[in-house]
């Protein structure tokens, strides 16, 4: 069997890289003598056109550096101010500039050339995420005949949304150069097939195959997952280790955990919690909401705006309802260690996971895995998270409907133990049978 070459924008960093994706692919990379390749995270004046070995980890990694202009155009520009908002349906936030697209293509071309020095014909190549969609096309133009798969971690838009991009047809052609295109959900797989057939005039065939020009690719859903066993053990070990004062016996706890991103629906959540407090005086002082949201992509205007909006709204709710013993919302703008997160999930009675649009959303899965099965908390989940396709036993809400979310908070707080247990058991069954090993095996089997 050939090696697995795993490619993502950033290589997993440090001597002990963690995270679901790394854990899932680590073994296969090692067993096949494979390599993880991507950017190093370092910005230099004159980047070398050569992949260098990163020698400090448990599996083989190679990386290259970006210049400041590449970082601005490829990463902050086309990836994060064009593709990210576009794929999440936020066409109002698109920043269309020729230098962004040129920079994006140029980094992908440069990367493809460097890869040609490293890959062998029988390697399987698995490319991750929206930063690197054109890679297969450029590798093929340089003569690569490898089997190549692509997995998109974000949602994929429908044709009318994709057409907001002046070069919408290119995106379809880029995708068609992979043998397998993996999406997070059936929703996204259907959208991608619709784009390849309607925007680019491809022909749909049975089994999710699409013919576009001389290329044929298969588009299917491979919902990403977590190591639920491992996360459950992590949470169990944290039961008595949370810092004192975090949990108060007389108070119920609501938790939200998201990178500070406009797709996550945090302002709507703050409004819904405010609405809940306005409706239920008797719950004042008996419930607190901790929202943990470290900033990302700082310096991009849309991210500065979401920070301001969320700060304003949490301040408003607290100003309205706090007293000297109680602040309804604790809004924390920094990352929290994974173990502490696991402990907080387990201590919470409710998780609010209400993105406006999300490829999957792993926080929903982590929260469920962390619960005590004897006395589990309730997951309130957006219908627009990819996770909602698998997690039907959550309380499913429309994140635009503030009143419905306020009602769901009350429903969750009042939910009888039996009902909570039944829902948790059903959700846990999904997480244990469809874990991250199931996900990577499914994709790699499809790739062949």
| Residues classed as catalytic | 153, 358
Q: Which of 362, 395, 406, 428 binds ligand ADQ (CB under 6 A)?
A: 362
Q: Which of 7, 144, 350, 360 binds ligand ADQ (CB under 6 A)?
A: 360
Residue 7 in the binding site for ligand ADQ (CB under 6 A)? no
Residue 39 gets the label, from left (phi > 0), alpha (psi -120 to 50) or beta, of beta
| Closer residue to ligand ADQ (CB): 93 or 360 | 360
Interface with ligand ADQ by CB under 6 A: which range of 101-109, 243-251, 316-324, 334-342? 334-342
Residue 153 in the binding site for ligand ADQ (CB under 6 A)? yes
Q: Which of 361, 371, 390, 440 binds ligand ADQ (CB under 6 A)?
A: 361
222 and 442 Cβ atoms separated by less than 8 Å: yes
Taking the C-alpha atoms of residue 10 and residue 2, their distance in angstroms, rounded to an integer, is 23
Contacts of residue 231, Cβ cutoff 8 Å, sequence gap at least 6: 342, 365, 366, 369, 370
Taking the C-alpha atoms of residue 154 and residue 263, their distance in angstroms, rounded to an integer, is 11
Q: Which residue has the tokens 């407090």?
A: 277
Interface with ligand ADQ by CB under 6 A: which range of 108-116, 204-212, 352-360, 407-415? 352-360
Contacts of residue 376, Cβ cutoff 8 Å, sequence gap at least 6: 368, 420, 421, 423, 424
> Phi, psi (5° rounding) for residue 421?
-65, -45
Residue 89 gets the label, from left (phi > 0), alpha (psi -120 to 50) or beta, of left
216 and 420 Cβ atoms separated by less than 8 Å: no
Interface with ligand ADQ by CB under 6 A: which range of 110-118, 142-150, 359-367, 420-428? 359-367
Write down the least CB distance from residue 260 to ligand ADQ, Å: 9
| Closer residue to ligand ADQ (CB): 202 or 359 | 359
65 and 40 Cβ atoms separated by less than 8 Å: yes
Q: Which residues ranging from 200 to 239 are in contact with ligand ADQ (CB under 6 A)?
A: 224
Write down the least CB distance from residue 76 to ligand ADQ, Å: 17
Alpha-carbon Rg for the chain, nearest whole angstrom, is: 22
Residue 154 in the binding site for ligand ADQ (CB under 6 A)? yes
Q: Which residues ranging from 258 to 287 are in contact with ligand ADQ (CB under 6 A)?
A: 258-259
Write down the least CB distance from residue 353 to ligand ADQ, Å: 8
Interface with ligand ADQ by CB under 6 A: which range of 32-40, 275-283, 297-305, 353-361? 353-361
Interface with ligand ADQ by CB under 6 A: which range of 171-179, 251-259, 269-277, 367-375? 251-259
Measured N-to-C along each axis, helices 402-413 and 266-279 cross at an angle, to the nearest 10 degrees, of: 60
Residue 341 in the binding site for ligand ADQ (CB under 6 A)? yes
| Closer residue to ligand ADQ (CB): 76 or 283 | 76
| Closer residue to ligand ADQ (CB): 51 or 379 | 379
Interface with ligand ADQ by CB under 6 A: which range of 47-55, 56-64, 358-366, 402-410? 358-366
Write down the least CB distance from residue 280 to ligand ADQ, Å: 28
Contacts of residue 352, Cβ cutoff 8 Å, sequence gap at least 6: 254, 255, 256, 269, 272, 273, 289, 380, 405, 409
> Phi, psi (5° rounding) for residue 61?
-130, 150
How many chain residues are in contact with ligand ADQ, going by CB under 6 A?
18
Taking the C-alpha atoms of residue 398 and residue 361, their distance in angstroms, rounded to an integer, is 15
Write down the least CB distance from residue 200 to ligand ADQ, Å: 25
Tell me the H-state helices in 151-279. 159-162, 168-176, 186-198, 228-237, 266-279
77 CB burial (10 A radius; 0-12, 13-18, 19+): buried
Q: Which of 188, 275, 366, 435 binds ligand ADQ (CB under 6 A)?
A: 366
Residue 388 in the binding site for ligand ADQ (CB under 6 A)? no
Q: Which of 169, 295, 335, 442 binds ligand ADQ (CB under 6 A)?
A: 335
| Closer residue to ligand ADQ (CB): 47 or 343 | 343
- Residue of 95, 262, 108 whose CA lies nearest to 171: 108
Write down the least CB distance from residue 355 to ligand ADQ, Å: 8
SS3 at position 247: coil
Q: Which of 148, 192, 292, 381 binds ligand ADQ (CB under 6 A)?
A: 292
SS3 at position 352: strand
Q: Which residues ranging from 172 to 201 are in contact with ligand ADQ (CB under 6 A)?
A: none
User: Which residues are near ligand ADQ by CB under 6 A?
Assistant: 153-154, 224, 257-259, 292, 294, 335-336, 341, 358-363, 366
């Amino acid at each position: 069997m050939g090696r697995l070459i795993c490619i993502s924008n950033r290589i997993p960093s440090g001597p002990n890289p963690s995270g679901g994706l790394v854990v899932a692919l680590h073994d296969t990379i090692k067993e096949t003598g494979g390599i993880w390749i991507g950017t190093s995270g370092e910005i230099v004046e004159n980047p070398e056109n050569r992949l260098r070995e990163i020698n400090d980890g448990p599996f083989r990694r190679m990386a290259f550096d970006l210049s400041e202009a590449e970082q601005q155009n490829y990463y902050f520009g086309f990836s994060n101010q064009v593709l990210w908002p576009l794929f999440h349906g936020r066409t109002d936030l698109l920043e269309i500039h020729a230098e962004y697209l040129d920079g994006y293509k140029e980094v992908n071309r440069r990367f493809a050339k460097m890869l040609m020095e490293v890959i062998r014909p029988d390697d399987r190549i698995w490319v991750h995420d929206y930063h690197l969609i054109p890679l297969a096309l450029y590798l093929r133009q340089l003569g690569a005949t490898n089997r190549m798969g692509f997995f998109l971690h974000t949602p994929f838009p429908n044709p009318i949304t994709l057409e907001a991009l002046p070069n919408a047809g290119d995106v379809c052609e880029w995708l068609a150069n992979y043998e397998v295109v993996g999406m997070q959900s059936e929703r996204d797989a259907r959208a991608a097939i619709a784009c390849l057939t309607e925007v680019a005039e491809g022909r749909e065939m049975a089994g999710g195959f699409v013919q576009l020009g001389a290329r044929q690719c298969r588009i299917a859903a491979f919902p990403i997952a977590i190591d639920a066993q491992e996360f459950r053990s992590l949470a169990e070990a944290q039961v008595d280790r949370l810092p004192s004062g975090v949990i108060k016996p007389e108070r119920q706890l609501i938790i939200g955990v998201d990178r500070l991103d406009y797709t996550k629906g945090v302002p709507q959540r703050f409004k819904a919690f405010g609405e809940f407090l306005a409706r239920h005086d008797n719950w004042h002082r008996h419930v607190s909401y901790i929202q943990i949201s470290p900033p990302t992509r700082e310096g991009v205007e849309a991210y500065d705006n979401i920070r301001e909006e969320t700060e304003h709204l949490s301040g408003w709710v607290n100003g309205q309802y706090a007293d000297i013993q109680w602040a309804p919302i604790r809004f924390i703008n920094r990352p929290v260690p994974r173990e502490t997160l696991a402990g907080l999930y387990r201590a919470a009675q409710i998780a609010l996971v209400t993105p406006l649009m999300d490829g999957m959303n792993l926080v929903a899965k982590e929260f469920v895995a962390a619960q005590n099965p004897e006395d589990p908390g309730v997951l309130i989940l957006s219908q627009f998270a990819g996770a909602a396709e698998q997690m039907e036993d959550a309380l499913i809400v429309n994140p635009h409907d503030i009143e419905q979310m306020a009602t769901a908070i009350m429903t969750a707080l009042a939910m009888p133990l039996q009902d909570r247990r039944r829902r948790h058991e059903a959700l846990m069954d999904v997480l244990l049978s469809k874990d991250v090993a199931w996900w990577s095996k499914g994709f790699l089997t499809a790739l062949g």
